[in-house]
Structure 1
Amino acid sequence: MKKILFLCSGLLLLLSGCLNDPEKDIKKVVTTFFKEYKGDFRAADKALISTELAGLIDKAAAKELQEAENMKKSAFPTDKPIMIEGDIFTSLYEGQNAFTIGEITIEGSKATVTVDFKNTLYAINWKDKVALIQDGSGWKIDDVYYKEQESSGSTKKQLQQVILAKGVPVE
């Protein structure tokens, strides 16, 4: 009986060690995303972002292409079409080239991570807040709030502005 109890408690201890640590998983997603992301939102790793955010990226990219085509048919073909310029996953147009993970807050299936970004070329440091959600396959980046303020702008807000923007009508 003691052997069975010992084996069962050992098995439980082993299994509890295999359970995911949410903070570790969140850090891994944020770290992987920002290490691999090179500034082109169209090429962002969709395995690390939410379905909603991936959909907004696809819609914004399609809108840019459509606007470019419309511009070719326009009476003003030298005008600039609606497009996203700069890094939309940080609050600095030029983007980041170094970062550290700060405070992590988890509330159920949502989390926020303060990320300390740096752009060493411009000698600029700042903090943005990354929002994540947990879906069936793990933690995903759902938005980035610029300068830690939800009201000052975010990745989703920028994408939505492009999607809803009115371009030059085709003549």
Structure 2
Amino acid sequence: MKILALAGSMNPNSTTKRAVQIVMEAAKKQGAEVELYDFRKNPLPIYDDRSDESTYPEAVHQFKAKMLEADGFILGSPEYHGSISGVLKNALDFIGARELEGKFVALVGTAGGALGATNTLNTMNIICRTLHAWPLPSMVSVPRSYMAFNPDGTLKDEKIQQRLEELGKNLVEAIRLMGRELRKI
């Protein structure tokens, strides 16, 4: 089982990436092969809706291939101005239902404010559903993310830490259950 994680932040000290990594580790403990797509190391150009997709750089084709190969996803984004980050939105613009249809997605949002990333999670949920993916019903928001983490990468709030870990476990279980059901058909 392959899971691709996207942390929609270019910040080298990204709290979104830290939160996504907690979900990734939990999924790995359940036996999944998990990869983090790093937008800093593999930047994508601005999506411009070209009529000839073959003219996009190799990074775009590699990204789309990784999305197509994945059995499930972890999407994380900081809340920027009440929505998802530009880098994540741009990346998602390169793909369509072909890459996401019927696949489960775990959603994680981080925010600097006390209210958390509710708008970001709702936006990612809508995007996933529009692309025929199955976002898990339990989404996790990390409020005040700039001060939410311990030096070892865990969260100070044990309940949020546990929710992120459960999200990773639930993603793997959902993919496994769907696989079992499809084999029955």
TM range (shorter): under 0.3
TM-score for the superposition, normalised by structure 2: 0.26
Higher RCO by CA contacts (8 Å cutoff, separation 6 or greater):
2
Question: Larger strand proportion, structure 1 or 2?
Answer: 1
Question: So what's the TM-score if we normalise by structure 1?
Answer: 0.28
**Which has the higher Rg, Structure 1 or Structure 2?**
1
